[in-house]
Every structure is written in C-alpha cells, then in structure tokens.
C-alpha cells in the first residue's frame, strides 16, 4: 500500500515538471518573437517606406495600404499595380537593368514560381506560417499565399433552373450546353491542375470533349461573369466565386456550383531578394499574414487563406473541395501547359 502511494506523487511531479518546461519554452518562444518584431519595427522606422508590387486591383490595394499605415503610421506604403504576367515582365526587365525598386511582391502562384526559380524572392520564415496549410506556402520559405480565388463554373439563374443546372464538371459535356458557354482565353493554370486532379489521360479526354462544345472565349473573368449575368451565355466555365458573390449581392442572377474539385488560384506575398527596405518589407508581409491583416483581406471581399479567419460570406469555403493550384506544375512545364491548352481549345 505504501509503495503504491509513493508512485502517484512521483507521476504527478513528473507531469507537473513537463508542463512547467513546456510553459517556459512557450514563454521563451513568445519573448523571442517579440524581440524579433521589435527589431523589425526599429529597422522599418528608419527606412520609412515600403514599395509593394502587386496584382491586387487598385481599389482593394489602396484599402490594404491604409490598413497597414494605420498599424504602422511611420511607414509610407507605395503601390504599383499590374496583372501577374505584366508584373513579372516588369520585375525581370528591372532586374536585367540592375534596378531594384520593389520591397514586396504579390503575384499569382504560377507566376511566383517562375520568379522563385530565378532567385528573385528572399527566404523569410514568417512567424505566421504555421497558420497556413501546405499547398498555400513555399516549403523553402520564399512565399505564403494570403488570399485566393476559388474557381468553378457558374450559371445564369434566370436561364438555367437550379433543378436543371450542371452539378459537376462532366455535366458540362451534355449536348444541351453546346454553344451556351463562355470561358477565359487564358486558362492554362486551371487546365494543368484539372489534368493533375483527374489524371492526365481522363483529364485530357474531358478537355477534348469540352472543346467540342463550341465555347466562346473572351479575356477577363469579371467580363465573363458580367456576360453570363446579362444572359449572353448560360454558363461561365471558370469563374471566381468571390466575384459571383459580390454580383449576387447586387442583384445579379448568378449562382456557382460546388464542383469537384474547385481549383483555388492563390496569390502569394513575399519579400523581394534585393528589397531596398528589407525590414519594412518583412513587417508588411507579416501584417498581411497576421489575423488582423487577414481580417482586412476578408473585409475587402477577398478569400483569406489563414486557417483561423473566415471569408465573407463563410459559405465561400463551406462544403467545397478546395484544391490549391499546384505551383510545381508551373516550375516543371509552364510553357508546355500553356501551349497544350491553346491547342486543345484552338485559342489563337
């Protein structure tokens, strides 16, 4: 009896010791993070400026800049906006000329992969990385995706009753939709990810059959959504769900489908390798990866990627098989997918 009574206190002391040790470690980690942040703030205060090259639309980017400057009023945020492909060309031209103006890059993940391969992103292990799932962050620490555009097909609810609407990708192959669908002329990223998800052979068969449906091609996903809403087409093959939700809220007769999969185009943020203001750059990146920054991203109508922040409306991600666009596809065969997509769909 006495022997048994002696064992319990020992176990309790052992567990208490483990708990105390874990507490000390967490306190030390928190202290280290605070020291790093204080050092960043001190350096950024001296730099006074951060230059942000981004593909985010200008109105949204301006709201982002205001949010950052409210948090850090001693740093002036400057913004240059262009589409991801145009922005990549600008960065490459400036690099060849030896000009390094940007501190932070924000591009679509496929484009980011090209610049990472060329050594134009710095490695920065953000303390917020643990709140982002695999597939939405670079395992080597060059970038993390801070918002995404889930892409699926949508339809005009006045022209297509819900009971007759397509429910999954293969339903788009029904002859009744022939000549009734529109698609963006630059969908090589979606094409590549769908081939990976379906398996190359089945995926290619799907694409080839879809190409026989007399699709109309235009440039720009917002334009496509507007044309579907106007009744020019019954179905938009690849549309961004956040845009559709905004248009629905304004009264547009649109609905989107939880197809399997919904490819999540994601938009990265990272520090430029030759950033003129490296401390301000890291502070900027950390702000938009933080919970506060991600809540701002949700407020301006984007879908945040951080796991503890919900989008607005929340059903943008509820019940959705969200598959992040695989950047490895771009690293290996970007040009091959680009040309194959155009060949299959006869896009000039």
Contact 43, 282 (CB under 8 A): no
Residue percentage of the chain with pLDDT more than 70: 91
> Could you tell me the residue range of the domain that residue 199 belongs to?
150-264+322-344
Contact 247, 228 (CB under 8 A): no
Q: In this structure, are 129 and 155 located in the same domain?
A: no
The pLDDT score that the predictor gives to residue 205 is: 98
Task: Let me know whether 220 and 336 are in one domain.
Answer: yes
Give the pLDDT score at 57. 82
Query: Are 257 and 299 in a shared domain?
Result: no
**Residue 120 located in a structural domain:** yes
Closest CA to 75 of 269, 288, 279: 279
Mark whether 127 and 90 lie in a shared domain.
Answer: yes
Residues 65 and 33 in one domain: yes
Name which residue leads in pLDDT, 268 or 31. Answer: 268
- Please report, for the domain that includes residue 122, its CATH number: 3.40.190.10
Q: Are 182 and 275 in a shared domain? A: no
| pLDDT bucket at 332, cuts 50 / 70 / 90 | confident
Q: What is the pLDDT of residues 76-129, one digit of tens each?
A: 999 999 888 789 899 999 999 999 999 999 998 888 988 999 999 999 999 999
Average pLDDT over residues 135-155: 96
* Residue 145, φ and ψ in degrees, nearest 5: -85, 130
Spacing of C-alpha 52 from chain mean position? 17
Tell me the average pLDDT of the chain. Answer: 91
Looking at the fold, whether 218 and 293 belong to one and the same domain comes out as no
179 with 218, same domain: the answer is yes
Residue 13 lies in a domain: no
Task: Give me the helix-helix angle, 327-344 and 188-198, nearest 10°.
Answer: 100
The length of the chain is: 348
| Angle at which helices 278-289 and 2-47 cross, to 10° | 130
Q: Which two tokens stand for residue 120?
A: 């134009």
The answer to whether residues 128 and 76 belong to one domain is yes
Number of domains in the chain: 2
Q: Is the pLDDT of residue 329 over 50?
A: yes
Between 331 and 265, the more confident residue is 265
Q: What is the pLDDT of residues 216-247, one digit of tens each?
A: 999 889 999 999 999 999 999 999 999 999 99
Are residue 254 and residue 168 in the same domain, yes or no?
yes
Confidence of residue 5 (pLDDT cuts 50, 70, 90): very low
pLDDT value at residue 55: 87
Q: What is the model's pLDDT at position 6?
A: 47
Q: What is the pTM of this model?
A: 0.81
Kindly state whether residue 307 falls inside one of the protein's structural domains. yes
Q: Is residue 330 part of a domain?
A: yes
**Residue 12 resides in a domain:** no
CB neighbour list of residue 196: distance below 8 Å, 6 or more residues apart? 203, 326, 329
Residue 7 has pLDDT above 80, yes or no: no
Residues facing residue 322 across a β-bridge: 262
On whether residue 116 sits in a domain, the answer given is yes
Closest CA to 341 of 237, 231, 244: 237
Same domain? For 91 and 79 the reply is yes
pLDDT of 64 strictly over 50: yes
Residues 94 and 134 in one domain: yes
Kindly state the average pLDDT of the residues 135-160: 96
Cα(119)–Cα(6) distance, integer angstroms: 62
Which candidate, 268, 285, 246, 273, places its Cα nearest to that of 325?
268
How is residue 171 annotated by DSSP? G
């Amino acid at each position: 009896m006495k022997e048994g009574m002696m064992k319990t206190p020992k176990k309790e002391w052992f567990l208490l010791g483990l708990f105390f040790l874990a507490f000390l470690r967490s306190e030390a980690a928190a202290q280290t993070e605070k020291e790093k942040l204080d050092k960043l703030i001190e350096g950024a205060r001296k730099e006074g400026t951060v230059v942000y090259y981004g593909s985010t639309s200008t109105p949204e980017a301006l709201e982002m800049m205001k949010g950052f400057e409210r948090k850090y009023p001693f740093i002036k945020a400057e913004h240059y906006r262009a589409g991801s492909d145009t922005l990549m060309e600008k960065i490459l031209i400036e690099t060849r000329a030896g000009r390094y103006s940007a501190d932070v890059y924000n591009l679509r993940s496929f484009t980011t992969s090209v610049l990472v391969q060329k050594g134009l992103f710095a490695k920065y292990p953000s303390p917020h990385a643990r709140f982002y799932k695999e597939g939405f962050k670079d395992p080597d620490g060059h970038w993390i995706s801070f918002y995404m555009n889930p892409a699926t097909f949508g339809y005009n609810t006045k022209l297509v009753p819900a009971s007759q609407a397509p429910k999954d990708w293969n339903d788009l192959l029904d002859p009744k939709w022939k000549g009734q669908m529109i698609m963006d002329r630059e969908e090589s990223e979606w094409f590549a990810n769908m081939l990976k998800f379906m398996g190359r052979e089945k995926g290619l068969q799907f694409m080839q059959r879809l190409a026989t449906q007399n699709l109309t091609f235009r440039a720009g996903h917002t334009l496509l959504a507007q044309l579907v809403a106007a009744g020019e087409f019954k179905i938009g093959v690849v549309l961004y769900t956040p845009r559709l939700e905004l248009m629905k809220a304004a009264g547009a007769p649109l609905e989107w489908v939880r197809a399997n999969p919904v490819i999540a185009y994601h938009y990265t943020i990272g520090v430029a390798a030759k950033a003129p203001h490296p401390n301000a750059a890291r502070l900027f990146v950390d702000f938009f990866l933080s919970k506060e920054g991600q809540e701002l991203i949700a407020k301006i109508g984007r879908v945040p990627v951080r796991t503890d922040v919900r989008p607005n409306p929340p059903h943008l991600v509820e019940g959705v098989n969200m598959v992040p666009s695989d950047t490895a596809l771009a690293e290996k065969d970007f040009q091959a997918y680009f040309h194959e997509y155009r060949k299959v769909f006869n896009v000039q």
